[in-house]
Amino acid sequence: MNNDYYSHHFKKSLGQNFLNNKKYINELVDSLEIKNDELVIEIGPGKGYVTEEILKRTNKLILIEKDDSLIPYLTDKFNKQVKIIHQDVLEIDFSEITAKQPYKVIGSLPYNISKRIIYNLLTNTHKPVQISLIIQKEVAKEYSAKAPKSTILSNFASLHSDIKLSKVVPSIYFTPKPKVDGQIITFSNIAENNINSKDLWRLIRIGFSSPRKILASNLKEYGKDKIVEALIKLDLSEKSRASELTLVQWEKLYELIIN
C-alpha cells in the first residue's frame, strides 16, 4: 500500500488525505453493515484503498471521484468491477445514478465540503438507506451533540436520521497527515421528506440564527408573546436558548405555534 502513495500528487484543494491503516479502513466499512449485493456508492475513492474492502462485501459499487488524475488509475485497478463516475459529488443526481434502487453511501470525505455532502444526502429526493463517513472529529461531535448543548447540525441530523459516532481516526493514519483527527459517523433510519419537517427545520434554523440571543428574540417573526407562552406551556424557561431544546421539544413548540 505504502509505495503506491508516493506516485500521487496530493491536491489539498480536494481534501486529499488517504487512509493508510487497514484497521480503520475496516472500521469504516464495517460501520456501513453491507449485506450481500447491496448497492453501495463510495464518495472520493482516492486510490481505492477503502474500495478494495467494500468489494469484499458487495459487487454492486459506484465510485464518484472528482480528481481527473485518479480516473485512469481507478479504471485500471478495478477494471470492469465497478462503475466509476468522474464528477463533483455535489452535482450528482442520486435518483439517476442508482436508477432509484435502494443504496448505501460510504466515504472518507474531503473535510472542506463534508457538511454540504451530508446536507445533500439527507435532503435529496432519493435518499440512501444508510451512510457511513469519516469527517473531521469536531464536526462529528457537532452532529451528535445533545440538548442542552445541541447545535444546528445535531438538530438537522436528528430531524432526518439516527446518528452513531464510532472510532476516532487519529490524523497519523492519513497520508499526508492532516492537522486534525477524523471520526467515523453513521446515519441510519433516514426519513423521507415531508412538508412539516421543512417548516420545522425553518423554525429551528431561525431559532439558532443568533446563538447568543434567547429563543424568543430569534423567533420574534412568529410573535414574541406566542413563543414565550409556548415555552411556558412546555415547562421551559422563557429565556431558553435554541441549544437547550431537544428535537421533541422543537416539534411541540412548532405544533403550539402553528395552531
**In the complex, which residues of this chain contact ligand SAM (CB under 6 A)?**
14-19, 43-47, 49-50, 64-67, 88-90, 108, 110, 113
Amino acid 79 reads N
- Residue pair 111/181 in contact (Cβ under 8 Å)? The answer is no
For ligand SAM, the closer CB: 25 or 214: 25
In the chain, how long is the greatest CA-to-CA distance?
66
For ligand SAM, the closer CB: 49 or 103: 49
Minimum Å distance from CB 160 to ligand SAM?
A: 21
Q: Which residues pair with 133 in a beta bridge?
A: 107, 185
Specify the DSSP class assigned to residue 5. H
For ligand SAM, the closer CB: 49 or 254: 49
Minimum Å distance from CB 105 to ligand SAM?
A: 12
Minimum Å distance from CB 20 to ligand SAM?
A: 8
- Residue pair 228/213 in contact (Cβ under 8 Å)? The answer is no
Minimum Å distance from CB 54 to ligand SAM?
A: 10
Minimum Å distance from CB 178 to ligand SAM?
A: 8
33 sits in the region (left: phi over 0; alpha: psi -120 to 50; else beta) called left
Give the separation between CA 44 and CA 25, rounded to whole angstroms.
Answer: 14
Nearest Cα to Cα of residue 31 among 119, 120, 190, 163: 163
For ligand SAM, the closer CB: 108 or 151: 108
Q: Indicate the residue whose CB is closest to ligand SAM.
A: 44
Question: How far from 65 is each of 52, 71, 80, 97, CA to CA, in Å?
Answer: 15, 7, 16, 14
For ligand SAM, the closer CB: 143 or 174: 174
Minimum Å distance from CB 133 to ligand SAM?
A: 10
Question: How far from 80 is each of 54, 192, 214, CA to CA, in Å?
Answer: 15, 33, 57
- Count CB-CB contacts under 10 A for residue 171: 15
For ligand SAM, the closer CB: 96 or 235: 96
Give the separation between CA 201 and CA 34, rounded to whole angstroms.
Answer: 31
